């Protein structure tokens, strides 16, 4: 038993829980308890068993052995979300919203308020409005989910859980897609809930957040319970070490000096497209160029326009000195430019397919031999990629959707790199992946640049931008507001440009 | 129901008197309404209606025929309203799409004072029409069976291909079976071929695989018979006295009979030209000095090489 | 875990997989056993040859439909398209007799026109769905009505018949055999092989699957989504025209009742075969079995008088549902997914 678990009464407790899927054991005798009014973080690398534990705590999985205690009594949680009736709510990582319905309809889905058998829209809308104001979210209850940004959808999901009077709120990486500003709003809400006595379990890969918000931390590694500690007693390094089980040398590889005289491989001038206004910048050979800014600042739109994914309204693009405009993604790929999406699930990988077709999809023409696909060379490519990117799958025939986020991200990297691009744009390179994999991705990006590939990193994680990039461009409302270089790259500067306190467009 | 039809009858007498006076004063307007032709038989009917229109209008300058076809029952109901309100017809010749939904619309036309002639498909309420012209479905089955009996002896085997499962099909089939009873001819099996050439071909192929000894086929319909003949020829079982009896009076079939074809030696008439008959009778109601109202049930004539020429219309699509 | 050492876990999985994909084959074998026990003549050479030949029409069309459905589309117009192509083909050949005579040249002209029409009709469906951004269901529902009414119009409501003089040259395409198999069956075999190769062994096939699986991913993976989708409809059109080319010589006629409900039979064959209706996974082999199953059901019903004629539709419906259920049912399969 950790640190005197019985001292304070726990609302929900996992006692020596083990779980196997078929013959594959995933959790080994794990303990965890959640107290009313505490934030309990659950951390661990991808594949450590966090999601499984959360699903067991919310009744979506049965434990193979061990006990679940609710209010101190042993219970069998009702399956398939039935535990919500007990006040145990799990917010899935994949947002669980009906895209074509409104915010209000989603929040009241399954427990609509009625008056005389007819939906009482007014009352529902009023309540939703209240919730939204509470959380500081500026969207209308009548907005359609499909029109919202990912961040807003995430917030709606949280509002939905809050509206259900949860006693235990279990959240799987709620902040993964939120900007820092949004995360702050979110944490304020969490603190309010905490004060009301709600027990909160949350999973995050952002260790600084974990440190900031949680009271206690439980660490899992390879399905083993490593420990439960008071958050105040732990440094970020200690957390990372307990997760990884080895010394983590610096997260970011040493910065290699940028070659100031390198050729400019990409020159963009006065680019205007949907969500992009008059953007100009250069990219040098072997450079890592960061794009920072708030979500919705137009960073992704810039590169979608350049790569032929969205139409360009005006402006010029030079690649290796020659003016060009790509009519299709294929044309951009053939010119050596590849864009790696931040939306792994909707735009990056075919989740119902295996690794091989995913790996080669982007550069499939390369694998065509006499009209037919050369399966052998595809297999060879997969073997190479698995080695080069350290992709770990239980089974090579696994559907990509069943792989952990970190391995998916590595596969997505491998997929894009299969086209051997000279310029690669990586959008949110480490979204939703664990610290070990992050480190691998950072080292990989640095190595690429060292080989002479130019890399654009679009990221909402400030430390990543600061730790990785030679130069940083900050965007706001579709415009570039500033360019930072060398020692000038620091958090305050970026925030000032991103928030519009400082910048080229300002008088 | 009862008082309603009595009322109808009263209106009818009044209407007849009225239309008779109108007829002499002005041109006689006759609306002709039938379904849009979507299969060959209906296309034949369309052709015969057009022919009759030309012929009758040439014969009687004071007769004006208005032909309208509609693609579904409700369109036909609207067409009937237009005939009354726009054209102010004196008589209506109608082949209803379906009996039930068109009964009331036709009754409304009748209330406007027009003479009503119903063709082929009866309305679901008796007493609305003044004149009824139709083919004879049971007779078609009976005549076919009678011909079969002349060619077959006890112990011979036949198969039957039926149409689309409907009342028409049942009437034909039941009469055929009743007539065959006691003849000693074995009816091996009967399957629906939906008045369709492709289905006729496939059902017959399967009959041929299933029954090694078949002496004759009742295909009930000329389209089915075309499929049956193709299947017989494919299997090489078209000789040895084998014969097929269809029905309707398709021009290709009639032409073949005229030319002495042995595989399809006869046909049984269920003519699309019945619409022309109905138009003739309707005009006669205005022109004849004899009584015309009543039921005209056309014979299901057996078409043989001897009489085929009089049923042959090379220009008709059917 | 490296690729080569994972065989132990992969085995149980692939065994299960095999049973699933074998579903349609098992269903077909069961149907054949039922057919044989009802009447041994079911397995006679003549009947088997009839069965295969009949399956060829729906089968060839269904192979085209496999591409469309795998890429996430649907084509409801194929039956009407077949009728319209048959009609136009007959008109062209009848009119070409004076110029080209009654020989092979006229037949080839007819076939060539058929292929052009098929591909063109497919292109129209494809462009309207991709560039016009209209749902495939609506586009093809529209063209379905258009083609059907066109053939009615061409035939003046009746039946278009091929000039008897040409039939001699054209008839063998349906009725002759080569190495013991009827020509339509050969066409079916060739289309099947080409279709299988195209779907499973070419970049194009992979693109179809990717688009059906997730159009967003496909777009971001440098796939020209609109072009690939349009090509699937053109393949569908080509398949329809090939089916029409072997259909016309059978009875030498086309009318508005030609090809009625073929679209639904083709779609049913595709789904029975294991292709997923919402796209992303296609099986040509399954489609072929699906087409054979459908024709076999009709054939068996003609072989027995145990079941009322009026219940034919019920039997067909039941067998289709059971065949798909056998395949989809979650046979106690524990869904093993880890974090």
Cα C127 from Cα A257, distance rounded (Å): 52
* Cβ-contact A435, A244 below 8 angstroms: yes
Q: Are residues A372 and A482 in the same domain?
A: no
Residues A268 and A142 in one domain: no
On whether both A303 and A236 belong to a single domain, the answer is no
Q: What is the pLDDT of residue B4?
A: 44
Q: What is the pLDDT of residues A265-276, one digit of tens each?
A: 999 999 999 999
Domains and CATH numbers, chain B: 2-134+272-287 (3.40.50.2300), 137-268 (3.40.50.2300)
The more confidently predicted of residues A434 and C14 is A434
CA distance A327 to C220: 13
Question: Per the domain annotation, does C318 fall within a domain?
Answer: yes
* CB contacts, 8 Å: B234 with chain C: 175
Q: Indicate whether A154 and A276 sit together in one domain.
A: no
Number of domains present in the structure of chain C: 1
User: What does the pLDDT average to over B188-206?
Assistant: 93
B135 touches chain C (CB under 8 A): no
pLDDT at B59 > cutoff 80: yes
Across the interface, do B317 and C158 touch by the CB < 8 Å criterion? yes
The yes-or-no verdict on residue B12 having pLDDT over 60 is no
pLDDT, mean of residues A52-71: 90
Q: Which of residues 322-351 of A touch C (CB under 8 A)?
A: 328-330, 332-333, 339, 341, 343, 346-351
In a domain, A5, yes or no: no
Q: Same structural domain for residues A81 and A202?
A: yes
Nearest to A330 among C6, C222, C339 (CB): C222
Regions of chain C with pLDDT less than 50 = 1-17, 332-339
Q: Is residue A1 part of a domain?
A: no
Question: What's the pLDDT at A117?
Answer: 83
User: Which pLDDT belongs to residue C333?
Assistant: 45
Mean pLDDT score, B49-74: 92
Which domain CATH number covers A332?
3.40.50.300
Closest residue on chain A to C12 (Cα): A22
Which range of residues forms the domain containing residue A391?
350-420
A263, A309: one domain: yes
Q: What is the dihedral of CA A144, A148, A153, A156, to 10 degrees?
A: -50
Query: What pLDDT score was predicted for residue A461?
Result: 80
Claim to verify: residue A307 and residue A406 sit in the same structural domain? no
Q: Is residue C236 part of a domain?
A: yes
- Read off the pLDDT band of A471 (50, 70, 90): very high
Cβ-Cβ contacts under 8 Å for A301 (sequence gap 6 or more): A273, A274, A275, A276, A310, A478
Domain housing C277? 42-327
Instruction: Tell how strand A454-458 and strand A276-284 pair up.
Output: unpaired
Domain final residue pick, A244, A279, A294: A244
Q: Are residues A132 and A263 in the same domain?
A: no
What is each CA distance from C279 to A31, C72, C73, in whole angstroms? 43, 4, 7
Identify the sign of the CA torsion B165, B167, B171, B177. Answer: positive
8 Å CB contact of C309 and B317: no
Q: Please give the helix or strand (H or E) that residue B285 lies within, else none.
A: helix B274-287
Q: How confident is the model at residue A172 (pLDDT cuts 50, 70, 90)?
A: confident
Q: Are the beta carbons of B189 and C305 separated by less than 8 Å?
A: yes
Percent of chain A predicted with pLDDT > 90: 42
Tell me whether residue C251 is in a domain. yes
Q: Are C175 and B234 inside 8 Å of each other by CB?
A: yes
Is residue C274 situated within a structural domain?
yes
Neighbours of chain C (3+ CB pairs under 8 A): A, B
Quickly state the pLDDT bin for B168 (edges 50, 70, 90): confident
A106 falls within a domain: yes
| Mean pLDDT, chain A, whole residue set | 86
To 10 degrees, what angle do helices A150-163 and A180-195 make? 0
- Asked whether residue C138 is assigned to any structural domain, the reply reads yes
CATH number of the structural domain spanning residue C213: 1.10.3470
* Matching residue, tokens 């009937």: B80
Q: What's the CA gap between A461 and C151, in Å, rounded?
A: 63
Domain boundary among A420, A446, A463: A420
Any domain includes C37: no
Here the ipTM equals 0.83
Do residues A267 and A220 share a domain? no
Q: Note whether A415 and A431 are same-domain residues.
A: no
Question: What is the pTM assigned to this prediction?
Answer: 0.80
**pLDDT tens digit sequence for A382-412:** 999 999 999 988 777 889 988 888 899 999 9
In a domain, C11, yes or no: no
Tell me whether residues C202 and A328 touch, CB distance under 8 A.
Answer: no
Taking only the tens place, the pLDDT of each residue in B248-280 is: 988 889 999 999 889 999 999 998 889 999 999
Q: State the pLDDT at residue B229.
A: 95
Provide the number of structural domains found in chain A: 3
CB contact under 8 A, C157 and B40: yes
Residues A183 and A235 placed together within one structural domain of the fold = yes
Q: In what order do the strands lie in the sheet with A264-273?
A: A276-284, A264-273, A312-319, A322-323
Q: What is the pLDDT of residue A259?
A: 77
Select from B40, B190, B208 the Cβ nearest to the Cβ of C159.
B40
Burial readout B249-268 (b: 16 or more C-beta within 10 A, e: otherwise): bbbbbbebbbeebebbbbbb
Residue A357 domain-assigned (yes or no): yes
List chains touching B (3+ CB pairs under 8 A).
Answer: C
Between positions 35 and 94 of A, the ones with CB within 8 A of C are: 46-52
Q: Which of C17, C205, C218, C220 to mutate to test the interface with A (most CBs of A within 10 A)?
A: C220
Instruction: Report the residue of chain C nearest B252, measured CA to CA.
Output: C161
Query: Would A233 be classed as within a structural domain?
Result: yes
Sign of the torsion formed by the C-alpha atoms of A346, A347, A348 and A349: positive
Q: Which residue of B has its CA nearest to C50?
A: B205
């Amino acid at each position: 038993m950790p640190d005197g678990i019985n001292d304070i009464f726990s609302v929900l407790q996992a006692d020596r829980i083990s779980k196997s899927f078929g013959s594959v054991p995933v959790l080994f005798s794990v303990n965890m308890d959640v107290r009313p009014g505490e934030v309990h973080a659950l951390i661990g690398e991808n594949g450590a068993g966090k999601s499984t534990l959360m699903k067991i705590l919310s009744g979506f999985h049965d434990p193979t052995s061990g006990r679940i205690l609710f209010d101190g009594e042993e219970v069998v949680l009702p399956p398939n979300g039935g535990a919500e009736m007990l006040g145990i709510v799990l917010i899935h990582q994949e947002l669980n919203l009906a895209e074509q319905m409104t915010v209000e309809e989603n929040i009241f889905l399954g427990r609509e308020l009625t008056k005389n058998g007819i939906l009482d829209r007014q009352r529902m809308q009023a309540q939703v409005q209240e919730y939204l104001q509470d959380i500081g979210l500026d969207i209308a209850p009548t907005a359609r989910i499909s029109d919202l940004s990912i961040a807003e959808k995430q917030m709606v999901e949280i509002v939905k859980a809050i509206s259900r009077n949860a006693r235990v709120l279990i959240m799987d990486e709620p902040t993964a897609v939120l900007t820092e500003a949004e995360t702050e709003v979110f944490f304020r809400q969490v603190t309010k809930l905490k004060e009301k006595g709600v027990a909160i379990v949350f999973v995050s890969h952002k260790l600084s957040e974990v440190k900031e918000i949680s009271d206690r931390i439980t660490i899992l590694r390879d399905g083993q319970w490593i420990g439960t500690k008071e958050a105040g007693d732990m440094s970020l390094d200690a957390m990372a070490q307990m997760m990884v089980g080895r010394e983590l040398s610096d997260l970011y590889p040493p910065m290699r000096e940028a070659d100031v005289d390198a050729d400019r491989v990409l020159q963009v001038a006065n680019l205007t497209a949907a969500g992009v206004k008059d953007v100009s910048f250069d990219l040098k050979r072997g450079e890592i160029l960061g794009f920072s800014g708030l979500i919705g600042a137009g960073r992704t739109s810039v590169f979608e326009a350049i790569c032929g994914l969205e139409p360009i309204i005006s402006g010029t693009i030079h690649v290796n000195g020659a003016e060009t405009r790509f009519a299709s993604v294929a044309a951009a790929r053939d010119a050596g430019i590849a864009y790696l999406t931040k939306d792994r699930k909707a735009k990056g990988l075919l989740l119902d397919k295996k690794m091989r077709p995913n790996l080669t999809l982007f550069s499939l023409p390369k694998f065509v031999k006499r009209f037919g696909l050369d399966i052998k060379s595809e297999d060879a490519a997969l073997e190479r990629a698995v080695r080069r990117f350290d992709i770990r799958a239980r089974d090579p025939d696994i559907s990509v959707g069943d792989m952990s986020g970190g391995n998916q991200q590595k596969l997505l990297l491998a997929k894009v790199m299969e086209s051997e691009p000279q310029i690669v744009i990586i959008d949110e390179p480490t979204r939703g992946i664990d610290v070990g994999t992050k480190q691998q991705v950072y080292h990989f990006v640095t190595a690429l640049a060292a080989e002479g590939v130019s890399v654009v990193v679009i990221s909402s994680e400030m430390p990543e931008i600061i730790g990785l990039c030679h130069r940083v461009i900050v965007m706001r409302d579709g415009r570039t507001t500033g360019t930072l270089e060398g020692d000038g790259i620091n958090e305050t500067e970026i925030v000032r440009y991103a928030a519009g306190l400082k910048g080229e467009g300002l008088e | 129901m009862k008082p309603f039809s009595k009322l109808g009858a009263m209106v009818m007498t009044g209407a007849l008197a009225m239309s008779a006076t109108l007829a002499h004063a002005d041109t006689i307007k006759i609306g002709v309404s039938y379904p849009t032709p979507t299969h060959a038989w209906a296309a034949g009917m369309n052709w015969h209606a057009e022919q009759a229109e030309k012929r009758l209008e040439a014969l009687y300058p004071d007769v004006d025929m208005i032909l309208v076809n509609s693609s579904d029952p409700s369109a036909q109901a609207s067409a009937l309203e237009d005939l009354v309100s726009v054209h102010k017809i004196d008589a209506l010749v109608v082949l209803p799409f379906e009996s039930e939904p068109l009964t009331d619309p036709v009754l409304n036309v009748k209330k406007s004072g027009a003479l009503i002639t119903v063709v082929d498909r009866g309305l679901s309420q008796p007493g609305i029409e003044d004149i009824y012209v139709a083919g004879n479905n049971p007779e078609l089955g009976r005549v076919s069976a009678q011909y079969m009996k002349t060619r077959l002896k006890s112990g011979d085997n036949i198969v039957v291909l039926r149409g689309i499962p409907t009342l028409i099909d049942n009437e034909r089939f039941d009469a055929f079976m009743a007539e065959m009873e006691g003849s000693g001819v074995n009816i091996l099996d009967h399957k629906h071929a939906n008045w369709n050439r492709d289905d006729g071909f496939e059902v017959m192929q399967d009959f041929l695989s299933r029954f090694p000894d078949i002496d004759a086929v009742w295909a009930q319909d000329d389209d089915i018979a075309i499929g049956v003949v193709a299947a017989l020829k494919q299997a090489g079982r078209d000789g040895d006295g084998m014969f097929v009896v269809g029905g309707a009076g398709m021009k290709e079939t009639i032409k073949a009979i005229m030319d002495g074809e042995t595989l399809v030696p006869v046909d049984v008439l269920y003519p699309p030209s019945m619409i022309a008959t109905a138009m003739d009778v309707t005009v006669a109601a205005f022109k004849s000095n004899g009584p015309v109202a009543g039921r005209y049930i056309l014979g299901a004539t057996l078409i043989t090489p001897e009489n085929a020429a009089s049923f042959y219309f090379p220009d008709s699509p059917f | 875990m490296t690729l080569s050492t994972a065989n132990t876990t992969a085995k149980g999985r692939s065994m299960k997989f095999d049973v699933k994909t074998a579903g349609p084959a098992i269903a077909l074998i069961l149907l054949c056993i039922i057919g044989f026990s009802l009447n041994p003549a079911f397995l006679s050479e003549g009947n088997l040859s009839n069965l295969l030949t009949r399956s060829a029409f729906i089968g060839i069309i269904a192979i085209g439909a496999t591409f469309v459905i795998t890429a996430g589309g649907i084509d409801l117009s194929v039956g009407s398209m077949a009728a319209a192509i048959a009609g136009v083909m007959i008109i062209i050949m009848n009119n070409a007799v004076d110029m080209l005579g009654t020989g092979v040249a006229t037949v080839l002209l007819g076939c060539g026109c058929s292929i052009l029409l098929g591909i063109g009709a497919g292109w129209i469906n494809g462009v309207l769905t991709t560039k016009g951004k209209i749902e495939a269901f609506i586009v093809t529902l529209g063209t379905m009505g258009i083609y059907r009414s066109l053939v009615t119009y061409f035939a003046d409501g009746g039946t278009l018949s091929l000039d008897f003089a040409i039939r001699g040259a054209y008839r063998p395409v349906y009725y002759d055999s080569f190495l013991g198999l009827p020509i339509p069956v050969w066409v079916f075999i060739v289309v099947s092989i080409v279709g299988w190769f195209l779907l499973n062994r070419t970049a194009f096939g992979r693109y179809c699957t990717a688009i059906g699986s997730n159009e967003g991913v496909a777009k971001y993976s440098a796939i020209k989504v609109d072009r690939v989708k349009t090509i699937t409809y053109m393949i569908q059109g080509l398949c329809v025209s090939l089916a029409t080319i072997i259909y016309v010589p059978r009875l030498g006629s086309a009318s508005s009742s030609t090809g009625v409900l073929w679209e639904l039979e083709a779609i049913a064959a595709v789904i029975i075969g294991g292709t997923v209706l919402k796209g992303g996974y296609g099986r040509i082999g399954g489609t072929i079995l699906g087409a054979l199953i459908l024709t076999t059901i009709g054939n068996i019903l003609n072989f027995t008088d145990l079941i009322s004629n009026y219940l034919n539709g019920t039997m067909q419906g039941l067998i289709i549902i059971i065949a798909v259920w056998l395949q989809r049912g979650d046979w106690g399969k524990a869904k093993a997914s880890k974090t």
